[in-house]
Amino acid sequence: MCGICCAVSFSVEHFNKDLKEDLLCNLKRRGPNSSKQLLKSNINYQCLFSGHVLHLRGVLTAQPVEDERGNVFLWNGEVFSGIKVEAEENDTQIMFNYLSSSKNESDILSLFSKVQGPWSFIYYQASSHSLWFGRDFFGRRSLLWHFSSLGKSFCLSSVGAQTSGVPNQWQEVPASGIFRIDLKSTSISKSVVLKLYPWKYNSREDVIKECVNSLTQISADLPTFVSVAANEAKLYLKEPVVPLNMILPQATFEIHCSSISSVPPSRETLQVFLTDGHMKEVVQQFIDVLSIAVKRRVLCLPRDENLTQSEVLKTSNRKANVAILFSGGIDSMVIAALADRHIPLDEPVDLLNVAFMTKEKTIPAGFNKKGRKEKNNCEKPPEESSKNVTAAAAAIAGEQFNVPDRITGRAGLKELQAANPSRIWNFVEINVSLEELQRLRRTRISHLIQPLDTVLDDSIGCAVWFASGGVGWLVTQDEAKPYQSSAKVVLTGIGADEQLAGYSRHRVRFQTHGLEGLNKEIEMELGRISSRNLGRDDRVIGDHGKEARFPFLDENVVSFLNSLPVWEKANLTLSRGIGEKLILRLAAVELGLTNSALLPKRAMQFGSRIAKMEKNNEKASDKCGRLQVISLENLSIEKEIKTNFRKDTLELIRNVKIAQKRST
């Protein structure tokens, strides 16, 4: 994962040899292992390329990379399949080698059509003065554009930077295909023409018209000197997934559905479906394809292969390489169960569980008002007493964070421990106070969520930022200790609800328009996931120097689910906790999961209790006034932010130490 940026200027007076400090800081946080800048000057234009690398595979390759012909490449992606990349190789260099040897536009499009995995890129082709850029089909990696007034400069970047009091000027590059700008022509005409090479499935002939129509709406938000047009040769990228199966069932199936619907909503209800041989086979196929997707995402990262046998046996000292955004719900539980299959057994897995403060601090039983342990515990050995004091002191804060996702998360932890007691499951309790939320939203998070700006974006963006940071507590029966996740890879379950009718709006659409309406809703959900979720989540998680990976949005997983008729994925005649994401619940049963297979969908903003935390009378779709930003004018402010980061946690650590001293 990387932070990539290209700033282009068509006039000397508008050109800066360095990026603004705000933007540079934001990019460096995404790529902490290597930073490099490269300037390309031409009589008509100047390009400043900036690359910041999070090293995850092969040899560390600094970016931008340049060849002898002056071509320049910035890559923020992972090649999981489609293009051969050996374990010791770096996919940035492999992709650049292919691009450098491309003889025409078709070769470039063929390359990106083959790649399976998330990506965004910027490629400067010196011979044609062309700047190519784009995002993958689902938009799993962020890329923003910003066009200055009068068309004298523009910028492409993984993440933006905002100035306090100035309206947001960044917009997400739509995941509609690959774009190309002729820099030489633009410098002369003073107008920017974005040539689009859209995604197209072979059987669709009207895709050019569809994409131009959609981009006409995007053009309306761009300056008048920027236009979008389909490429003259009508070339396109091949869509990496098959179209959604829109077939409707026969009447006999509807009768079968009604008979099953009469079964009480319980684990037995799921077992009824698994007695059908065809359905059982479909569920196993789903498990197989999803398991491969998870395997690619947990094994494709650097591990310390040089540990001695004695070090390997000391699993308590091993650090986790993979973390999971974990609520204990069906999505994260299935991902955890499949990750357990492929991650080395001696390697811990971090389960990141976030909660927002729900009530004032309370003093737990066993403590007096001064925080001292009551006398009835004085006869216990000092070591045991110390552990009890630590756990109890953590409970002082813990009770006020006892939100729904914390409760289901702890229950999910027990299921995973029962399924594989040999694995170390690090359940990381990440507790966020109102003061901490407000401070860090203002100084660190707002610019990551933007250009999205709704109350829903604020809630989810903030929750994901705190969760993926992995700073919290490991609480067991014996002790509680502060913890910082070292995992560079964060798995998330996004994509399951969109494809498997997990949202309440799917049920509403089914009740009003039947299966035909439900199909259209699912098609719409998947079509807009790049603009509603993925760019934001990539920016938010990447800000910690970690990479988000999305198993449910693996190309093969999506193709498999798209190939199924809708009734094999969900049955909304059944109650909540059964009917939505039915195939995933059946997979959970087959994987040996128990109670989590029956948990109804609960949105992250409600499960973590961030929603309504500050205002009770706002709607999710409302513009969020809290998403106002403060520009980082110098590094001293950035240093101050880092000093204040997790202040509440440090305060609690001090309280624990005081309690330990008093107990002795």
Q: Please provide residue 196's backbone torsions phi and psi, each rounded to the nearest 5 degrees.
A: -100, 135
Report how far residue 411's alpha carbon sits from residue 400's, in angstroms, rounded to the nearest whole number: 18
Q: Using H for helix, E for strand and C for coil, what is the string for 89-152? A: CCHHHHHHHHHHCCCCHHHHHHHHHHCECCEEEEEEEHHHCEEEEEECCCCCCCCEEEECHHHC
Q: What is the DSSP string of 297-327?
A: HHHSS---TT--HHHHH-GGGPPPSEEEE--
Q: What is the DSSP string of 253-314?
A: HHHHHHHHHTS-SSHHHHHHHHTSHHHHHHHHHHHHHHHHHHHHHHHSS---TT--HHHHH-
Active site residue 2: yes
Strands of 547-549's sheet in order across: 480-484, 471-475, 425-432, 349-356, 322-325, 489-491, 547-549
Nearest partner of 32 among 608, 591, 547, judged by Cα: 547
Report how far residue 258's alpha carbon sits from residue 477's, in angstroms, rounded to the nearest whole number: 46
Report how far residue 158's alpha carbon sits from residue 145's, in angstroms, rounded to the nearest whole number: 9
- Decide the pairing of beta strands 2-9 and 153-157: antiparallel
Beta carbons of 75 and 6 less than 8 angstroms apart:
no
Token readout for 282 is 């479909």
Tokens 């779709």 correspond to: 621
Report in angstroms the alpha-carbon separations of 276 from 258, 260, 352, 573.
16, 12, 36, 18
Cα 224 to the chain's mean position, in Å? 33
Cα 39 to the chain's mean position, in Å? 31
Token readout for 119 is 């990506």
Report in angstroms the alpha-carbon separations of 275 from 87, 272, 287.
42, 5, 17
Beta carbons of 461 and 449 less than 8 angstroms apart:
yes
Q: Which of 2, 155, 211, 624 is catalytic?
A: 2
Report in angstroms the alpha-carbon separations of 627 from 161, 197, 459, 606.
13, 34, 10, 19
Nearest partner of 561 among 286, 293, 235, judged by Cα: 286
Q: What is the DSSP string of 315-368?
A: GGGPPPSEEEE--SSHHHHHHHHHHHHHS-TTS-EEEEEEEE--S---PPTTB-
Which residues, listed in sequence order, are joined to residue 218 by a DSSP beta bridge? Answer: none
Which residues, listed in sequence order, are joined to residue 490 by a DSSP beta bridge? Answer: 323, 548
Helix (H) / strand (E) element for 2: namely strand 2-9
Q: What is the DSSP string of 140-202?
A: -S--EEEE-GGGSEEEEESS----TTS----EEPPSSEEEEEEHHHHHHHS-EEEEEEEEE-T
**Residue 602 buriedness (CB in 10 A; 0-12 / 13-18 / 19+):** middle
Euclidean distance between the first and final Cα of the chain, in Å?
Answer: 48
Q: Give the active site residues.
A: 2
